[in-house]
Amino acid sequence: MKRVLSTLVLVAGVGAFSAAHAAVLDQVKAKGFVQCGVSQGLPGFSSPDDKGAWTGLDVDICRALAAAIFDDPEKVKFTPLSAKDRFTALQSGEIDVLSRNTTWTLDRDTKMGLNFTAVTYYDGQGFMVKKALKVNSALELSGATVCTQTGTTTELNVADFFRANKMKYEVVAFATADETIKAYEAGRCDVFTSDVSQLYAQRLKLAKADDHMILRDVISKEPLGPMVRHGDDQWFDVVKWTVFALVNAEELGVTTKNLAEMMKSTNPEVKRLLGTEGALGQALGLTNDWVARMIKRVGNYGEIYDRNVGPGSRLNIERGLNKLWSKGGIMYAPPIR
């Protein structure tokens, strides 16, 4: 029903006569917070803790954004969205940014009136099965019943994978992550499939997590990152450079702990990053210390990763592809200059 509502908002929006829109950054500044679309509860990426505060990698991107704009990571409001409701919510203007483990694809980047900004997590699709089934490879899954979530690249990839390998399967697609994992746990399906990071996250929700294993096979590329509405280049730049700045900060070794020292650094790259030299923040419509604010409140990309999905978290996912390019991964950001 939420989708119908969003659609009505969208209808009202596009059906009305004036197409003029205030810039999103100005709107955000005027209302005093960022409205951020997240998942309905995916540990490590976006889920409410026991006090109701949202945490996770996707959440921290929004907090960094709020820190850059307001110098306050709490000036964010979160809208939990299922996979199938997320795009309509962004199109209709219900949210300012969608930071919800969403895969960058050409289709989504072009036809929906939305733009991807940057990659925050390089992922790929995998499978989880019960150990008791004694399956070692995805290629042994012919005839299996697969649980997945609707409205995702996951349900499309799984179809491609089984077809390409001439294997039979049956898919049961649910509307929310909770329904999907519960159905898998109840034995409705032999296999649970989603982005690998999400398999780790969902496995935590299982009563007997140790009875389940994640197969080694990765069947797709799933670069995840925040999206904004098409047509507002300034806001697009702000979100994009927020991500880039977090990565650059890690590369330059700027952390929450050493920030005070780094503010005094003579390294020109660090000076530009932290705004002690030049006026790069202003070019974005922010203050020049925008990155310093983010690092102070949220930390750099590496800190965000470790805290939410890495060794500092229950998920403990190897950093793998998401290591910096200089450390053997592919996480790379254009320079701040």
Partner 1 sequence: MVDRRDGARPPAGSLVNDPRARAIAVQLLLIAAVVAVGWSFVQNARVNLEARGIATGFGFFEQTAGFGITQSLIEYSETSSYGRAFLVGLLNTMLVSGIGVVLATVLGFAVGIARLSSNFLLARIAGAYVELVRNLPLLFQIFFWYIAVLGTLPGPRQSLSFFGIAYLNNRGVILPEPNFAEGAGLVGIVLLAGVALSIAVHIWARRRQAATGKLFPRGRLALILILGFPLVAFFATGAPISFGYPELRGFNFVGGFRVIPEFAALLVALVTYTAGFIAEIVRAGILAVARGQTEAAYSLGLRPGPTLRLVVVPQALRVIVPPLTSQYLNLTKNSSLAAGIGYPDFFYVFAGTTLNQTGQAIEIIAITMAVYLVISLVTSGLMNWYNRRKALVER
Ligand X SMILES: N[C@@H](CCC(=O)N[C@@H](CS)C(=O)NCC(=O)O)C(=O)O
Binding site residues, ligand X, CB under 6 A: 39-42, 82-83, 101-103, 149, 152-154, 176-177, 194-195, 198, 202, 222, 224
Cα–Cα distance measured from residue 239 to residue 76, given in angstroms and rounded to the nearest whole number: 14
Instruction: Say how many Å lie between the first and final Cα of the chain, rounded.
Output: 46
Q: 114-116 and 227-229 as β-strands: parallel, antiparallel, unpaired?
A: antiparallel
Q: Tell me how far apart the alpha carbons of residues 45 and 100 are, in angstroms, rounded to a whole number.
A: 8
Number of residues counted as binding partner 1 (CB under 8 A): 55
Chosen residue from 205, 230, 296, 319 binding partner 1 by CB under 8 A: 230
Is the distance from CB of 322 to CB of 250 less than 8 angstroms?
Answer: no
> Among 27, 71, 77, 172, which residue sits at the site for partner 1 (rule: CB under 8 A)?
172
Query: Cβ(95)–Cβ(35) under 8 Å?
Result: yes
Interface pick for partner 1 out of 160, 211, 233, 318 (rule CB under 8 A)? 160
The yes or no reply on residue 84 touching partner 1 (CB under 8 A) is: yes
d(CA 38, CA 81): 6
* CA–CA distance, 169 with 174 (Å, rounded to integer): 16
Amino acid at the residue 126: G
Instruction: Name the one range near partner 1 by CB under 8 A: 4-12, 63-71, 193-201, 262-270.
Output: 4-12
Q: Is 49 in the site for partner 1 (CB under 8 A)?
A: no
**Residue 16 corresponds to which tokens in the numbers above?**
């009305």
120 vs 202 by CB, closer to ligand X: 202
Q: Which is nearer to partner 1, 94 or 250 (CB)?
A: 94
Q: Which of 45, 104, 169, 192 binds partner 1 (CB under 8 A)?
A: 169
Q: Which of 71, 155, 178, 289 binds partner 1 (CB under 8 A)?
A: 155
Partner in contact with 101, chosen from ligand X, partner 1, none, beta carbon below 5 to 8 Å by kind: ligand X
How far apart are the C-alpha atoms of 71 and 187, rounded to whole Å? 48
Q: How far is the CB of 169 from ligand X (least distance, A)?
A: 18
Residue 249, CA distances (Å) to 18, 99, 306, 321 in order = 42, 20, 15, 18
The amino acid occupying position 54 is: W
CB of 181 to ligand X, least distance (A): 7
Residue 213 touches which of partner 1, ligand X, none (CB < 5 to 8 A by kind)?
none
Checking DSSP bridges between strand 121-123 and strand 97-98, what pairing results, if any? unpaired
| Paired sense of beta strands 144-149 and 169-174, if any | parallel
Query: Cβ 135 to ligand X, closest distance in Å?
Result: 20
Cβ neighbour number for residue 250 with a 10 Å cutoff: 24
Pick the closer one to partner 1 by CB: 89 or 262: 89
Q: Give contact residues for partner 1 (rule: CB under 8 A).
A: 3-4, 6-7, 10-11, 13-17, 19, 83-85, 87-88, 91, 108, 110-114, 133, 141-145, 150-151, 155-156, 158-160, 163, 169-175, 179, 182-183, 186-188, 190, 229-231
